[in-house]
Structure 1
Amino acid sequence: MKFIPLNDSGTNYLTFGLESRTEFQYLGNNNWGAGPQNPGVVLVRLMPDIDLRLGDHARVFVTPFFDEFTGQYPRPGIDKDIADGHEGFVEFGGNLHDPHPGWDVIVGRQEVVLGTGRLLDDNEGVNVRSAFDGIRVGYDKPAGRIDLIAVKPVEINPGAWDDIPNPTITFWGLYASNLRWSPRFMSDAYFLDYDAKSATYGNQSAREQRRMIGGRYFNRLPGEPPRAGFDYNIETGFQWGSFGNRSIRAWATGGNIGWTLPGEVWRARFGLQADAISGDSGQPTTLGTFNALFPRGAYFGPKFALIGPANLLSVQPQFWFHPRQNVTGDICWIWFWRESTKDALYSFNNVALRPANLSDAHYIGSQPNLEIRWAISEHFLGALNLAGFIPGTFLEQSPPSDKIAFVNAGLTYRF
């Protein structure tokens, strides 16, 4: 199934892959008891892929997906998509077998993941992954990568073969990533432009034209396994533009610092994550709510997706441990406050979970998380996630405010 030669020299070849993921999920009192509930469901994702390589300079990649959900009330664009084309693109470039191929161009439907997924992510945590239709032009060298992106997000619909590029949203940007200034200091820098023909904040709907500049500063690459010593990852951004007849002035900053103890067995990392993300102050001429654009769904914690990065202050102590060669664990406890009491509490896709005017309180509540990941073999991965939410003053004054319990147990097969 891998590297099937199509010519005598083997420079043209075909390779197949597959991801099959099945999860049982229990979610008690979703949205603190408001709205329809799916207490116990099974989530299934099947993603075969075909990769055609034509020498070192051309590639065709296709991935359909089949995402099923047994509950009665699937969350739109998150839980269910019976069958559709997830990725389908052609790629041209320098040596595409090299991790740093020089220049490359990708045209078609594709995932876009940049940085740590705060603004552009494939949404791996939830059942249905995200993709974009458009073009990405990159220049990649060991000292860093620069991407020019012009895309439309794919509109996820639950039926078969009905996903289309969202006609109301256009997105483009310039993103420089993993710029290596020294072994202990790397950075990202970016300019992003977002245009939505219709958006809603509070009780107002209008066209949203938003631009953003930002940067990230870190000493370890995304996805790099923890190693002994100090690590840091800090990101800041500022947004401006217009929302109807109002100007946009929004900002966000967040950081994660940690220390990893030496050793292979029971290696441990102690960390602290903190975020400050602007909300609206209620001024009639200015919108202050931050738009995180296309972030990962489980933004806070490894799996449980509810609260999103808008109008928020959070603090998150973390403990990562590695008891066996093929077992890792992550424990964290997150405390949330509203940055502005004149703005709502939002989900990760910028939908208001609770309006602003029900309470003057800042404190939202706290969320504990536990994740255990077990690499059973080369192809099988098991994961257990436990989480909950203890409501604070804001939720108690804007009921319902039931405590949330979350359990997710899954098995993933990849080849």
Structure 2
Amino acid sequence: MRSPRALTLLACGTAAFAFQPAFAQSVPPESVKTDETGTLATQAPPGVRPARSQPRPAEAIPGGRPGPAGLPQNIRWTEDWSNPAAADDPLLVKIKHIPIAGDDVYLTLGGEARAYYTRWHRSSLGLRANDDNDPLQSRLRLLADLHVGENLRAYLELGDNREFGEQFATPPNRDKLDVYQAFVDVALPLGKAGKITFRPGRFEMPLGNGKLAGVREGLNMRFTYQGLRATYILPGKLSVDLFAVRPVQIDPGTFDDGPNDAQVFHGVYLSAPNRIAGFGTDLYWYEFKRDRATLTAGVGRDERNNWGGRLWKRGPRWDIDIEGTYQSGSFINKDIRAFGAMFEGGYTFGDAPMQPRLGLRTNYFSGDRNPADGKQGTFVPAAARLPLISEAAFFSFSNLMDIYPSITVKPIASITIMAGPDFLWRARKGDGVYIGPSGSSFAPYRSSRSIGTDFNLEASWQATDRLAFRLWETYFAASDSFQANGGRNGNYLGLMANYRF
């Protein structure tokens, strides 16, 4: 898995911070801020693109609301090119809406070219020796999206992913030409009762705000899954998303990726906008099974049920997102009793120069109190959006709590800058400090819970609707107690250029 990356990104300019449905925290590039999924900062649907204007964000679910017409989106299958006149570039007009049998049957072509330079000093913060790394990632994508009326669609996306100049390899950065996404959508209209869309195939699948099940935007290869997804939508009132999938196993050769038979992911996610005092309400259950997981308590089979709920709201000034999750199941014959709690909110001074936003994010992810008591209290997310802590991704979500006050400003409409300190602690002294997404950890120690502080700076420039530049800088200052037990200071720099057409 990938070595740490630190900082979440900002851009789109109003509200807060987030990786999925309907809300926005510091809003994504362009008009707000973006998270790993590139969706609206605090909680706009995962399909949201960092854009200067964000009328109604896309919904990254089969049959969901597409993004604004004629604009590239972070989740590419949420784009809307049904109107040939929507493209403002003569070349794009020719490839974004190619009529095959009238305007109802058309083909869209597109792609992406991304270069991302990252430089870590002590990527594992002292857990391993020789852990400096400064690779240059290159991501290339080509896509074809065939629409046959309103109820049938076929989508294909090819990808090529390389890594140059690295001191050690990051597997999700390496995958020669392969099928990145390939699925069919078949919709069943139910009249006033809404519609059901069935999606078999291989696809990206961020859930909710994308914090616990995101897309892994910081690496060349996002999380993708193979299986079946079915979504019922009653517009403006309810969506019910059911899925039974396996994560795609990334192999570095050409056309050699396939489902990972050692992992299973299935569940249901319900979302209802404006249900409680104007708040959106999400409820979900899903189970993630791994034949092999690594925690301080050992290595073995891990089967986790996740039961959770979320309240979220975004206004012109205030934004808020609250989520809680309880985990049950078993890890190497130990009963799992773990939980996570996440809060993010902020206030935007929309009439003031540079539209400053004062934000606060705080999280608690449980650790194991006593490794010898026959229970497992360490929280483990299904597919974490690690930039929730920082783009450097020095830490995983296990046995961690943090408080992150921030300020966001927009010097001009296309530029967003966010900065602030993120204070980090262990949730339990009986558990270790978990580094990155691999499960590797420092051994438990009995001194202070303080781990240290991330000092974060994030900036994004949406130069055009299709071209964006982003910068992340995180300096981690280790606490005295963490240093006394082997921890070290670290630093991360990230520079990204991304073009979508």
Q: Would you call these one fold, judging by a TM-score over 0.5?
A: yes
Post-superposition offset of 1:69: 0.9
Q: Once the 2 structures are TM-superposed, how far is the Cα of residue 94 of structure 1 from its aligned partner?
A: 4.6
Change over 3 Å in CA distance of 1:162–1:398 after alignment to 2: farther
Q: Distance in 2 between matches of 1:217 and 1:390?
A: 33
| C-alpha displacement of 1:85 | 1.6
Check if 1:260 corresponds to 2:381. no
Separation in 2 of the partners of 1:321 and 1:146?
36
> By how many angstroms is 1:126 displaced?
2.5
Between 23-32 and 372-381, the greater mean CA deviation after superposition: 23-32
Count of matched residue positions in the alignment of Structure 1 and Structure 2: 400
1:54-93 correspondence to structure 2 within 5 Å: 54-70=148-164, 71-77=166-172, 79-93=173-187
Residues 1:319 and 2:407 are matched in the alignment: yes
Partner of 1:26: 119
2:481 & 2:287 partners in 1: Cα distance? 33
Is the 8 Å Cα contact of residues 296 and 441 (structure 2) preserved in structure 1?
no
Matches within 5 A, 1:236-385: 236-263=324-351, 265-282=353-370, 283-301=372-390, 303-357=391-445, 360-385=447-472
C-alpha distance after superposition, 1:324-358 (max 9, x if no partner): 1111111121111111111121234251231224x
Work out the CA distance in 2 between the residues paired with 1:38 and 1:14.
45
Give the letter for the 1:367 counterpart: D
% identical aligned pairs: 27
Structure 2 Cα separation of the partners of residues 187 and 406 of structure 1: 36
Local SS of the residue matching 2:441: strand
Aligned to 2:134: 40
Change (3 A) 1:347 1:58: farther
Question: Quick one: which of 202, 211, 218 aligns to 1:118?
Answer: 211
Cα 1:290–1:13 shift into 2, 3 Å: same
Paired with 2:303 and 2:276, the residues of 1 have a C-alpha distance of 36
Q: Which amino acid aligns with 1:48?
A: L
Q: Is the 8 A contact 2:183 2:199 kept in 1?
A: yes
Unaligned runs of 5+ in 2: 1-94
Whether the 8 Å contact between 2:147 and 2:153 is mirrored in structure 1 is yes
CA RMSD of aligned residues (A): 1.9
Instruction: Tell me the distance in 2 between the aligned counterparts of 1:355 and 1:159.
Output: 36
Amino acid at match of 2:497: L
Is 2:255 aligned against 1:184?
no
Q: Which whole-Å deviations, capped at 9, do the CAs of 1:44-63 have from their partners, x for residues lacking one?
A: 11111110111111111111
Q: Which residue is 1:223 aligned to?
A: none
Pick from 318, 323, 347 the counterpart of residue 230 of structure 1: 318
- CA deviation after TM superposition for structure 1 residue 183, in Å: 6.7
Instruction: Report deviation, 1:13.
Output: 1.0
- 1:411 and 1:117 map into 2 onto residues whose CA distance is 23
* Residue identity matched to 1:310: S
**CA displacement 1:360-396 (0-9 Å, x = unmatched):** 3311111111111111122211111111111113430
Larger displacement relative to structure 2 (135-144 or 179-188): 179-188
User: Within 1, Cα distance between the matches of 2:487 and 2:398?
Assistant: 21
Q: Give me the whole-angstrom Cα distance separating, in 1, the residues matched to 2:352 and 2:223.
A: 35
Higher strand share: 1
Gaps of 5+ in 1: 221-226
TM-score, with structure 1 as normaliser:
0.91
Tell me if structure 2 keeps the 8 A contact 1:371–1:384. Answer: yes
Counterparts of 1:161 and 1:343, CA distance in 2:
41
**Equivalent in the alignment of 1:212:** 306
> How high is the TM-score relative to the length of structure 2?
0.76
Query: Aligned partners of 1:310, 1:31: CA distance in 2, in Å?
Result: 15
- Given that residues 196 and 232 in structure 2 are in contact (C-alpha distance below 8 angstroms), is that contact kept between their aligned partners in structure 1? yes
Change (3 A) 1:82 1:398: farther
CA distance in 1, matches of 2:417, 2:160: 29
User: What displacement does 1:93 show?
Assistant: 0.9
Residue 223 (structure 2) aligned to one of 113, 124, 130: 130
Partner deviation per Cα, 1:25-82 (whole Å, 9 max, x = no partner): 22122212433434432111111111011111111111121111111312233x3223
